[in-house]
Amino acid sequence: MEELRGILATLPPSRPAPAEGGGVKTPPRLELPALPNAEQGKVVLRFAPFPSGALHLGSARGVFLNDAYRKRYDGKFYVVYDDTVGSEEKRPFLEAYDLIRQDLETVDVVPDAYYYKSDRMELYYRRLPPLFESGKAYVCTCPAETLRENRRTGTACAERDRPLEWHREAWEGMLSGKYAPGEAIVRIKTDMAHPNPAFRDRVLFRISDFEHPRVGKRYRVWPMLEYAFAVDDLELGITHVLRGKDLMMEDMMEQALWSAWGRQGPELIHWGLLSVRDAKISKSKSYAEVMSGVYDGWSDPRTWSFTSLFRRGIRPEAIRSFVLSFGMSLADIEVPAESLYAENRKLLDPVTPRRAFVADPRVVAVEGFPDDLASVSLANHPTREELGRRDVRVQGGRFYLAARDVDQHRGKEFRLKDLVNIELTDDGHARFTSRPNKPIPRVQWVAADGAVPVSLLQVDGSRVEGMGEGSLASVKEGELFQFERVGFVRADPQTPDGPRRFVFGHP
RNA sequence: GCUCCCGUAGUCUAGUGGUCAAGGAUAGAGGCCUCUCGAGCCUCUGACGCGGGUUCAAAUCCCGCCGGGAGCACCA
């Protein structure tokens, strides 16, 4: 898996055109540095996710940087499922292939092709014999522990210099089942005294009996990531590899292999590691919680998956701007999720209608509420008239206020925002005082008449229950609102009865 | 420990020897708004890790130090 941890000449045209007036900010134009040796129309890029779960915010850098350069150079972009057999702790999962495909669709990234490493095993095998012949690879039957120790001390293993024929036969033996898992591996011959201990005769192939989710037990000898990439990057004509700098050592491996094959590989370019503060992202934890039902599927906000962000009303363009703003810097960074929200807010604020919602509601009956005040017309947006208005019935003077507001304003006069001024006595009774606006605290309210119960899913998976204004009764999935003084929300699918369901996006 | 990478405001980023008395974003502070204590608008605060060089001139080049990160798996 190499998608973990992730401006073109212009921003994508999908960004909503800034409307006139309304104080809409023009987003800054972002530019990515040019790629070395990149020719217009001839750039071929690839993104290689390990199919163990949905794509999430940690994958975003790989997705959007590749896509941005693909567009900038009018090139190709492939998804290569990095689905070799994995290990005990890291296994590919069948469902993940489709999840990843859907996630890419969700964020409007459409690859030119999909490839599966598990379909390309013969290609990997075919490239190996020449390495035996040129003495660049060998079969090693050391136990893992011996191998580690030798690597540490820079000691070559006894088999390293056996004759070519022995290695050929041993390789056949690996394929045919003569060796059990762990009993034989293929290693590259670099230099056992290489200053970087991590680079001393690394493993190219190993035996695994795991059943692969796509190809079952058809193969028992599997390549390591670096070898598979070294082959695919040549076979697929990749011109530039963009990946996180955690894979820098893999560069050395790929380059060693290309040079052994007498070929020139693509340019290798890295970005620093990205972590998002406030977002503890663990694909394996998410997988476990999704499977066990603790999480509400991959759209549970706690996964930080693309789908879950979408469900929260976070637009793909916001994620794109967010990750592209980091550029190709090699510095490791930790960014607060707040930055992502700020990007999304620029997109949503100008187009999102306001609605009233109060959490933890208390009923307040206002004594002396004016009889002639039957309804009030409220703007859907404080500055953008084109978003229209709505009428809210207030007859009878019964309101829901947030418990917090009730407590805070007990014994004081305050204004029901956009409506009238009232006073709350110490024992909780409310009475009308006056109508004109004046500089006193303003409190959010929901008219009890017609109010609908609302359940708001939070980022931590909990729910806040409250009451929303009557116009929310007919809400449909996907509608976006700003609950005033609460934040931006997106409507979940609704059920005929029960509360209206929303997902909290961000303030 | 070894190898590699990185170091501009709280955070992210622009900057590739002069136009940088360092630009933008975000966060923070203050203000505005016939009405969002959480949106919007305006203003303000705030940075080149340290020490040596090179140069007429350095955030930009060189060396050292300090600090941070990654790799050292028969995972990806």
User: pLDDT by residue (tens digit) across A171-191?
Assistant: 999 999 999 999 999 999 988
Give distance CA A7 / C1' B15 (Å). Answer: 17
In a domain, A361, yes or no: yes
Full domain range(s) for residue A57: 44-119+226-349
Residue A26 in domain? no
Following DSSP, what letter does each residue of A311-338 receive, concatenated? HTT--HHHHHHHHHTTTT--S-EEEEHH
Q: What is the pLDDT of residue A15?
A: 28
- Asked if A198 CB < 7 A from strand B, the reply is yes
Q: Is the same domain home to A180 and A209?
A: yes
Smallest CA–C1' separation from A330, nucleotide: B6
On whether residue A33 sits in a domain, the answer given is no
Q: Which nucleotide is nearest to A1 (CA to C1')?
A: B76
Using one digit for the tens of pLDDT, what is the confidence trace for A265-318?
999 999 998 989 888 778 888 888 999 999 999 999 999 999 999 999 999 999
The residues, ordered by sequence, that sit 6+ positions from A23 with a Cβ below 8 Å of its Cβ are A383
The mean pLDDT value for A422-436 works out to 89
Nucleotides of B under 7 A from a protein CB: 1-8, 10-16, 24-27, 33-41, 68-76
- Boundary of a domain, candidates A349, A364, A380: A349
Q: A482 with A368, same domain?
A: yes
Does residue A244 lie within any of the structural domains? yes
Same domain, A201 and A215: yes
pLDDT for A455-490, tens place per residue?
999 999 999 999 999 999 999 999 999 999 999 999
CATH number of the CATH domain containing A178:
3.90.800.10
Q: For position A337, which CATH number holds?
A: 3.40.50.620
pLDDT-derived band at A341 (thresholds 50, 70, 90) equals: very high
- Asked whether strand B has any atom less than 7 Å from the CB of A317, the reply is no
Higher local confidence (pLDDT), A76 or A13 = A76
Give yes or no for residue A24 having a pLDDT over 60: no
Q: Is the CB of A330 under 7 A from strand B?
A: yes
What is the pLDDT confidence band of residue A30, given thresholds at 50, 70 and 90?
Answer: low
Å between CA of A278 and C1' of B35: 34
Who has greater pLDDT, A12 or A203? A203
Overall number of domains in chain A: 3
Quickly count helices (H) and strands (E) in chain A: 13, 27
How far is Cα of residue A507 from the mean position of the Cα atoms in its chain? 20
pLDDT at residue A7, rounded to an integer: 26
Q: Looking at the domain assignment, is residue A8 inside a domain?
A: no
Residue A28 lies in a domain: no
For residues A266 and A341, membership in a common domain is answered with yes
Residues lying close to strand B (Cβ under 7 A), chosen from 225-284 of chain A, are 225, 245-250, 272-273
Residue A397 C-alpha from the chain's centroid: 46
- Mean pLDDT score of chain A: 89
Question: Could you tell me if A327 and A240 lie in one domain?
Answer: yes
Q: Which nucleotide is nearest to A208 (CA to C1')?
A: B74
pLDDT of residue A108: 94
Which residue type, as a one-letter code, is found at position A489? V
Using the CA of A341, give the nucleotide whose C1' is nearest. B26
Q: Are residues A218 and A242 in the same domain?
A: no
Residue whose CA lies closest to nucleotide B72 C1': A198
CA-to-CA separations, A400 to A26, A380, A395, A397, A406, in angstroms, rounded: 38, 20, 13, 10, 10
Residue at minimum CA to C1' distance from nucleotide B70: A246
Q: How far apart are CA A415 and CA A437, in angstroms?
A: 8
A231 and A211 housed in the same domain = no
pLDDT of A412: 87
pLDDT given for residue A80 in this prediction: 97
Q: For A334 and B29, how far is CA from C1' in angstroms? A: 24
Give pLDDT, residue A86.
Answer: 86
Nearest nucleotide, CA A250 to C1'? B71
Per-residue pLDDT at A2 exceeds 80: no
Residues 147-166 of A with CB under 7 A from strand B: 147-148, 151
Among A178, A200, A222, the domain-final residue is A222
The mean pLDDT of A364-379, rounded to a whole number, is 92
A173, A201, A222 — which closes off a domain?
A: A222
Whether residue A163 is predicted with pLDDT greater than 60 in this model: the reply is yes
- A315 and A255 share a domain? yes
CATH label of the domain that carries residue A415:
2.40.240.100
Mean pLDDT for the stretch of residues A440-464: 93
Whether residue A334 is predicted with pLDDT greater than 70 in this model: the reply is: yes
Together in a domain, A414 and A378: yes
Which pLDDT does position A29 carry in this prediction? Answer: 45
A148 and A114 share one domain? no
φ and ψ at residue A103, rounded to 5 degrees: -60, -40
Do A382 and A487 lie in one domain? The reply is yes
Report, as an integer, the average pLDDT of A93-98.
94
Q: Calculate the angstrom distance between C1' of B50 and CA of A38.
A: 39
Q: What is the per-residue pLDDT for A12?
A: 28
Q: Are residues A499 and A384 in the same domain?
A: yes
Give the closest nucleotide to A50 (alpha carbon vs C1'): B76
Residues 22-81 of A, Cβ under 7 A from nucleic strand B: 23-25, 28, 33, 48, 50
DSSP assignment string, A366-425: EET--TT--EEEEESSSS-GGG-EEEEE-TT-EEEEEHHHHHHHTTSEEEETTS-EEEE-
Cα separation, A279 vs A301, whole angstroms: 10
Task: Calculate the angstrom distance between C1' of B43 and CA of A178.
Answer: 77
